[in-house]
């Protein structure tokens, strides 16, 4: 487990006070922190319609899951509305082992089609939670931003295949830089699914 900073130790009790089941979150490669307030909402460009859908929250709260691997550094944030929703609906999911076993394989793989297959299986798992989950409705802007920042242009048919995760995607047609971006994009999907799985597991065993 990673060594915790003073900030982590200060922040975590507030998370556990409101979400005690997160004590049982099983993946210690993620560090949790709570973020809230109007300033964060404004900086993140949060859609007020989404805030309304999340129970009319005036000052939306987020739980950030911070991952710092050897080659990857990401933070994925979830509305606390989604955390509560997952906790309340975790009983709908019966089998967890098959998903848990394959997610790390997907993250470790360099093969894009392997990642696509595992993402698809993970998405079937998430659908069991019901349609009220806001988290992960659209990852497409993330890919667009990655490509734009790197100065890559991908033709529309190929881009559609990447975003829709078609199993007919031929990674040999992608130049190396684009392939690395697509790999990072798919890894975000996999981390997202793994975190949600961890919340389900925590809800069940707490």
Q: What is the pTM of this model?
A: 0.81
3-state DSSP assignment of residue 47: coil
pLDDT of residue 6: 44
Within-domain flag for 24: yes
Parent domain of 67: 6-205
Average pLDDT across the chain, whole number: 80
C-alpha 169/C-alpha 158 separation (Å) is 8
Within-domain flag for 1: no
C-alpha 51/C-alpha 191 separation (Å) is 24
pLDDT of residue 58: 47
For residues 60 and 142, the model is more confident at 142
Mean pLDDT of the 115-127 span: 90
C-beta of residue 32 within 8 angstroms of C-beta of residue 60 = no
Mean pLDDT of the 78-96 span: 86
Query: Residue 99, exposed/middle/buried by CB under 10 A (0-12, 13-18, 19+)?
Result: buried
pLDDT of residue 10: 47
pLDDT of residue 197: 92
**How do residues 68-77 score in pLDDT, each as one tens digit?**
877 778 888 8
C-alpha 96/C-alpha 44 separation (Å) is 33
Q: Count of residues for the chain? A: 206
For residues 3 and 16, the model is more confident at 16
C-beta of residue 24 within 8 angstroms of C-beta of residue 205 = yes
Within-domain flag for 119: yes
pLDDT for 24 beyond 90:
yes
**How do residues 141-183 score in pLDDT, each as one tens digit?**
888 888 998 899 999 999 999 999 988 898 888 988 999 999 9
The count of domains in the chain is 1
For residues 64 and 139, the model is more confident at 64
Q: Which residue has the tokens 């906790």?
A: 87
Where are the extended beta strands (E) located within 55-156?
61-68, 73-79
C-alpha 84/C-alpha 98 separation (Å) is 24
Tokens standing for 188?
Answer: 């975000």
For residues 132 and 200, the model is more confident at 200
pLDDT for 46 beyond 60:
no
């Amino acid at each position: 487990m990673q060594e915790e900073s003073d900030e982590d130790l200060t922040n975590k009790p507030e998370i556990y006070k409101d979400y005690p089941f997160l004590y049982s979150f099983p993946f210690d490669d993620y560090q949790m922190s709570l973020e809230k307030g109007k300033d964060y909402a404004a900086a993140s460009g949060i859609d007020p319609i989404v805030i309304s859908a999340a129970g009319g929250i005036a000052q939306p709260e987020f739980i950030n899951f911070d991952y710092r691997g050897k080659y990857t550094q990401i933070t994925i944030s979830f509305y606390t509305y989604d955390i509560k929703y997952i906790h309340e609906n975790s009983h709908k999911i019966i089998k967890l082992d098959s998903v848990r076993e394959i997610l790390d394989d997907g993250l470790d793989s360099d093969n894009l089609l392997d990642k696509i297959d595992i993402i698809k299986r993970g998405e079937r798992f998430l659908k069991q939670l019901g349609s009220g989950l806001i988290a992960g409705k659209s990852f497409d802007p993330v890919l667009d931003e990655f490509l734009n920042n790197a100065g890559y242009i991908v033709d529309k048919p190929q881009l559609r295949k990447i975003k829709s995760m078609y199993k007919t995607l031929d990674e040999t047609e992608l130049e190396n830089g684009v392939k690395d971006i697509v790999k990072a994009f798919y890894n975000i999907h996999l981390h997202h699914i793994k975190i949600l799985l961890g919340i389900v597991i925590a809800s069940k065993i707490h």
